[in-house]
Amino acid sequence: MDSQLFIMTTNFRIYLRIILAFALFFVLINGYCQDKDSVKEITLPSVIIKAFEQNRKLKDVPAAVNYIGKQNLESFSPSSIVSAINSTPGVRMEERSPGSYRLNIRGSSLRSPFGVRNVKIYYNDIPYTDPGGQSYLNELGYYNFNSIEIIKGPNNSLYGAGTGGVLLIESLSEKEKSGISSEYSAGSYGLQNMYASITTGSDKIVSRVGFQHQQSDGYRDHSKLKRDVLGWNGLFRFGEKRLLKTTFLYGDLFYETPGALTKAEFDADPKAARPGNASFPGAVSANASVHQKMFLAGASFTQPITSKLQNKTTLYGMFTDFRNPNINNYDKSSEPHTGGRTVFKFVQPVKNGILSLDAGGEFQEGFTTVSIHKNINGNADTLRTYDEINNRQSFVFAQASLDVNYWTIITGASWNTLRVRFQRFIPAPLGKQSRTFNNEIAPRFALMKKFKNLNLYTSVAKGFSPPSTDELLPTGGAINIGLNAEEGTNYDIGMKGTFFKDLYVDINVFFFSLTNTIVQRRDAGGGNFFVNAGKTKQHGTETVISYPLFLSSKKIKSSLFWLSHTWHDFHYKEFKQLTNDFSGKQLPSIAPHTISSGIDILMSNGLLGTITYLYSDKIPLNDANTEYAKSYHLLGVKIGYEKWVKNKFRCKIFAGVENLLNETYSLGNDINGFGGRYYNAAPKRNFYASIALQFLQKK
């Protein structure tokens, strides 16, 4: 009882400090701002987003969608997008070590030991997720993101197979001005972050070439990072309705993987890398690391066919070279793939409304070779296996949207197919193996009623998610061609509205059931293998509140207070593995409650400040729920100064601190880790400082 009282008292003190910090910030700023002559508008609900090919205001989209814009990204360190994404409800982005990302949308990371799976990603209209189901999100640097739209839940009706969600990423704004920009940041643990870009163009043309370099020694032993990204993006308008978007991207990423620790090792020294034993080398002696090189080239072209019909077609090619020495072996893979997407949109005015029809398809094909070698001190040695894999995925879709008399009705469906062909040549030819996943029509229906300041909506969607290539043919485990696709049905009920003139509220309640759930397991050497895990039941609420502070003050150029809360109640409905019955247990990797909040202020005299806070509830680490990662509180502060000279030259200087409370916590846990190896420690209190220069060309 004394220990529980101590924990409660400690948590109360932490909450009290946070409340006092926020209160002090309010008092200082509010005391400075007394003018009442100008009025500013909240912009978040008015943001135009592209989800479901609708180009609607955020508040008018009948779906659970998170939007992350430049203001959200700039509230945190310019070295990572992790904190910005984690400030939104229903989404958790993890970083097991610098550069090793994992994305969890409503439990989607249950089957992701590393990387991003069961989430479809589009980058400048290009299908960034490869046909095998893997998304190398870590190849993108901070400056590749101008905006991010996160659609939560199954959305097979327009974006193909997947039950986790969809990310729509844009790297360039149509409002960019010609000029030269540069930024340099430095911080704790050897962090250096450099960026330079040249933007040219006019009202009809925007072209940007940018290069970014990032390096860090990492908080943990054996966790260095080096990332170089060279990119070119263009927006070319031909008349009023023709738009060509071009994308060129080259990335070179290297990071060391220190490996997961047991609870005893984590408590003794969270900075340590995984030690070796009699059976396996440690992370350092194995030189456990990842080296990826990626090349992406693609374009999308939007053009009118008639006054009511238009088409947008995207074509791309992508190549990834992957090297991964680990404590099991040395993995090499070559992963070229190509594909395209086309969407026809027909718009017809009707009495008191508008009817919009979308139809199209998407096709991708990949040709992967994978070789597994013996690892000798981080060098590839004897060849153990050599495989060739051909992935082909395609789907066709149709969607109808009717806006009439303050009602919005959207219905859509798709038909999906995925074919995997696999052949092993070494150590002995196994002959060709093939697996095809066909899905019946995957429908989605959404309904929204619009009132003066409030929109109410509901939707139902059926989705399926076939196993990725890495799950069918894991490098650390046995081949499992018999793995089945997940199938799920999701129900959403939500409200989006503005109250008291400028208080924006977005609340969503969802119910999601999943069958044939794919979950990962780990063997003694850290190798991964996957099984279907019966049924799950998942429901929860996700809430966003935002309010622009000090609207009537001339001394405030922009300001925003935001708060998000997530409640997820996820359990196995039915899951038995051998003699173990996990039915009724919490799904591992899911925090029941998370809270994120912050205040952004930019004054008219150039001073700027941000306070951010994140709370994560304790997280079950295995199916049996016998181990939990403890809850934690993260507090961040950022202050700076921005100066414009004749609206042509800008200098911005800022500094910040993350994890101000110096918490010890694990940001990316290895779920169901063999031998209790779950923990990957995140940095404790750390600092950063940055200077940004921008020169805009005179017209």
DSSP per-residue letters across 351-402: TTEEEEEEEEEEEEEEEEEEEEEEEETTEEEEEEEEEEEEEEEEEEEEEEEE
Residue 383 tokens, joined? 């060849």
Confidence (pTM): 0.90
Q: What is the pLDDT of residue 643?
A: 92
What would the mean pLDDT of 174-184 be, rounded to a whole number?
91
Q: What is the pLDDT of residue 121?
A: 94
Structure confidence by residue, pLDDT tens digits, 655-688:
999 999 999 999 989 888 888 999 999 999 999 9
Is a pLDDT exceeding 90 seen at residue 31? no
**Rounded Cα gap, residues 14 and 534, in angstroms:** 40
What would the mean pLDDT of 378-401 be, rounded to a whole number?
93
- How large a percentage of the chain has pLDDT more than 70? 90
Q: Distances in Å between the alpha carbon of 368 and those of 371, 386, 420, 432, 470? A: 10, 11, 11, 14, 11
Cα 257 to the center of its chain, rounded Å: 20
DSSP string, 347-365: EEEETTEEEEEEEEEEEEE
Instruction: Answer whether 341's CB lies under 8 Å from 361's CB.
Output: yes
**Rounded Cα gap, residues 516 and 535, in angstroms:** 6
Residue ranges of the alpha helices (H) in 74-212? 82-86, 156-159
Q: What is the pLDDT of residue 239?
A: 83
Q: Which residues pair with 656 in a beta bridge?
A: 638, 688
**Rounded Cα gap, residues 595 and 631, in angstroms:** 12
Residue 88: DSSP 8-state: S
**Rounded Cα gap, residues 565 and 143, in angstroms:** 27
What would the mean pLDDT of 365-375 be, rounded to a whole number?
94
Alpha-carbon radius of gyration of the chain: 25
Structure confidence by residue, pLDDT tens digits, 311-321:
999 999 999 99
What structural domains and CATH numbers belong to the chain? 33-696 (2.40.170.20)
Is a pLDDT exceeding 80 seen at residue 468? no
**Rounded Cα gap, residues 437 and 457, in angstroms:** 32
Is a pLDDT exceeding 80 seen at residue 699? no
User: Average per-residue pLDDT in the chain?
Assistant: 87
Structure confidence by residue, pLDDT tens digits, 118-176:
889 999 999 999 998 889 999 999 999 999 999 998 877 889 877 889 999 999 988 88
